[in-house]
Amino acid sequence: MHSENPAQPLVSASQLDMRFGQVEVLAGIDLDIASGQFVSIVGPSGCGKSTLLRLIAGLAAPVSGSLHIAGLSPLEARRTRQDLAFVFQDATLLPWRSVEQNVALPLELSQRQRRADALSMAQALELVGLSAFAHSYPRQLSGGMRMRVSIARALVTHPGLLLMDEPFGALDELTRQRLNEELLRLWSQVGFTCVFVTHNVAEAVFLSQRVLVMSARPGRWLAEVAVPMPCPRDPDLRTSPSFNRIAEEVSHHLHRTRT
């Protein structure tokens, strides 16, 4: 799978293989993602989507093949660039810390200056529309609000690369659609590169410039589907014929994983 501008991809993988013990999880993965792109990955459960995100994040190492983030190994990129953030399916907030304190956690871990901390926290909370809840605790928030805190925590360090592993999978459809729209607004406003894993075809198409379809385990690329619709994207786009044609194409490729 190659990006529109492969000359200087932010994320670049070649013949990436991964296994756990005797179980082959990923096989022959090639991937180029240009800076500023929003790319979604769909595929059946257990096909290696989340594993690929973990490899990109430097949280695991491939068995073979090469993987680079801005020309560095993922581990080097995570340690030296400090502009990669990961959002998991669960908001993973610390219940004893307020919203503001949860958002501040990455800044504390990176030991940034306090003045910059305060500004970054305020900006991040404003971006996700939670400035009024800075002193609330996770137990006082809805599921959608907790996920917005998680996104603010990811954005507080101004990441260049945002990895998202089914972040809205546990939410109801209305909340999910609203957060999709907020995420696209943030992407347009902030300009980060996003790699987004989901099981939801409509979500992948609405968010992305490219949708990559992965086979059943061991995960290989089955198809890449371009989403040429401009941003910002109106919520009504989901009912348009062009949107439905692209979603049907992605679904067609997904059905091939079951045969």
pLDDT at residue 4, as a whole number: 43
CATH number for region 1-81+196-259: 3.40.50.300
Instruction: Please tell me which residue, 34 or 80, carries the higher pLDDT value.
Output: 34
Flag whether the pTM goes above 0.75.
yes
The domain locations on the chain are: 1-81+196-259
pLDDT at residue 117, as a whole number: 63
Residue 3 has pLDDT above 60, yes or no: no
pLDDT tens figures, 73-114? 998 888 777 678 999 888 889 999 999 999 988 888 776 545
Q: How confident is the model at residue 2 (pLDDT cuts 50, 70, 90)?
A: very low
Percent of the chain with pLDDT over 70: 92
pLDDT tens figures, 172-210? 999 999 999 999 999 998 889 999 999 999 999 999 999
Residue 6 has pLDDT above 80, yes or no: no
SS3 assignment for the chain: CCCCCCCCCCEEEEEEEEEECCEEEEEEEEEEECCCCEEEEECCCCCCHHHHHHHHCCCCCCCEEEEEECCECHHHHHHHCCCEEEECCCCCCCCCCCHHHHHHHHHHHHCCCHHHHHHHHHHHHHHCCCHHHCCCCHHHCCHHHHHHHHHHHHHCCCCCEEEEECCCCCCCHHHHHHHHHHHHHHHHHHCCEEEEECCCHHHHHHHCCEEEEECCCCECEEEEEECCCCCCCCHHHHHCHHHHHHHHHHHHHHHHCCC
Q: How confident is the model at residue 38 (pLDDT cuts 50, 70, 90)?
A: very high
